[in-house]
Structure 1
């Protein structure tokens, strides 16, 4: 008779081994959570030991915490990693644009309250695209909470903008009409979303198409174009805040890491040079990548983050 696998010895082995495996996987296993902040439900990804230094990952347009799906596992064995979705993005709630303030001051205040709700007393900020205006507002409001900053394709200088992009925003900011809105609504088209990922990406074969498909699904939700248009309209306030954020860097000299896709069609490397002038000790890594450099260079960027955080 063939011995059964489930002998008392085998059962003893599995009952003792499985809890050990589960316990070992707990700290760096990504969890998916929602918390109520004011009138919105914020979705966030979390991983890593809560006793470790915290990395707060702030995403860009038109993505969500989904853009960090490959980075989080690279960091979570060593650090406490949290990545929220903004209101109107990803899995977070999206109140009607007519009844909610989709501006960056409100967004930053919401993320500050989010960190307080999760009892995050200190954190290193990772800021990409929209994450820059959010993160710098947070740093200005509570500089003592910021252990360091990581900037990935998020400019705080006018010279960091591609003039071709500026020419599309300027008429809209100067006089908001149906006609001046039209070029901005083009940013919500499927071909534009894909272009944001592929333009300037020399290792395009590394880009998972799920990235732009996921983002487009969010943009195509009923009412979401109006939400995003409010954010883009308010972006002019970010430009007005640039001098304050520049002063923050010059005055506080935070530990700074710059990981940048040098072929970004939106934000030029002139913006990197301008930050280096403010923070001469900044650690700078330029990659042959586009706006979403994590899609093609996550291993290289995570290595730079580990080196930066260990110092």
Structure 2
């Protein structure tokens, strides 16, 4: 006999989709509404380790590692672009038989999710954006070196991006803007740094940084999707994010007047310090929209 608490434990799995061996975590009863959690750079589904159990009593929560991150394994000829990442995650949803779900978008998860949503509008029941940007005004001055790389992808500008892959930079991304950096557990940024140090990872990440320019170019299409489909949207945002400003959260209301926006005293990796608060906002929001 299955115990009621069994579904609350997070389990790990691996499944083949579109030629990619996708590692993912799952928690919650499969009969409950589904939330698809999409992580950001330079992390993986590991970033949701303390978050998924907070949702698992009411939702079926699924968190894949994107290609190029975590423990997902890809063929040698895989092309690292956000189009490819979105196609792979779409195939992943098809293999799992996910017909309807809410999206949780963080950082790189946003350009992946905001490609899926217009392609599968009937599948997306709600969107939660946690520092998952879709507006130019949400991008800080900290993007200046990256914009220089986009404008001139010279070897010198490409090499300048390598500073993004150091342990020091990864630690800073996790702790900057946190009300108390001592509350940020070190295993997250140490694991990310170790995985970034694998052979070939630098080229993968440099290709994705270059391709990110196409995400900004897609913003008008995302806005059209939001205006036309009016998906329920919750923006719960670390207000001290050095990359994506609170203006990016507030901008959702321009296309979605009913969007709910909460700004937290947190940094980019807001889940590291505010998992409980974010889970509470999500549960309140999703229980109203995923009936």
State the TM bucket, normalised to the shorter chain: over 0.9
Matches within 5 A, 1:99-178: 99-165=77-143, 167-178=144-155
Q: Structure 1 residue 195: deviation in Å?
A: 0.4
Give the distance between the partners of 2:70 and 2:38, measured in 1 at CA.
13
* 4+ residue runs over 4 A deviation: none
Alpha-carbon displacement from aligned partner over 1:184-241 (angstroms, at most 9, x marks no partner):
1110011000000011111322210001001111101111111111111110110110
Structure 1: which 5+ runs fail to align?
Answer: 1-18
Residue number among 258, 276, 279 corresponding to 1:302 in the alignment: 279
| Segment drifting more, 278-287 vs 257-266 | 278-287
**Structure 2 length normalisation: TM-score?**
0.96
Residue number among 245, 248, 251 corresponding to 1:268 in the alignment: 245
Q: Secondary structure at the match of 2:236?
A: strand
Could you say if the C-alpha distance between residues 171 and 95 of structure 1 is closer, same or farther in structure 2, counting changes exceeding 3 Å?
A: farther
Residue number among 23, 39, 58 corresponding to 1:78 in the alignment: 58
Aligned residue pairs, count: 288
Residue number among 213, 216, 235 corresponding to 2:212 in the alignment: 235
Q: Does 1:25 align with 2:5?
A: yes
Q: Structure 1 residue 95: deviation in Å?
A: 4.1
Structure 2: which 5+ runs fail to align?
Answer: none
Q: Structure 1 residue 59: deviation in Å?
A: 0.3
Q: Does 1:63 align with 2:40?
A: no
Question: 8 Å contact 2:236–2:249 — kept in the other structure?
Answer: no
Alpha-carbon displacement from aligned partner over 1:60-83 (angstroms, at most 9, x marks no partner):
000000111111000011100000
Alpha-carbon displacement from aligned partner over 1:236-294 (angstroms, at most 9, x marks no partner):
11011000001111111111111100000000111112112211111111100000000
Q: Secondary structure at the match of 2:185?
A: coil
CA RMSD, Structure 1 to Structure 2 (Å): 1.1
Query: Greater CA radius of gyration, 1 or 2?
Result: 1
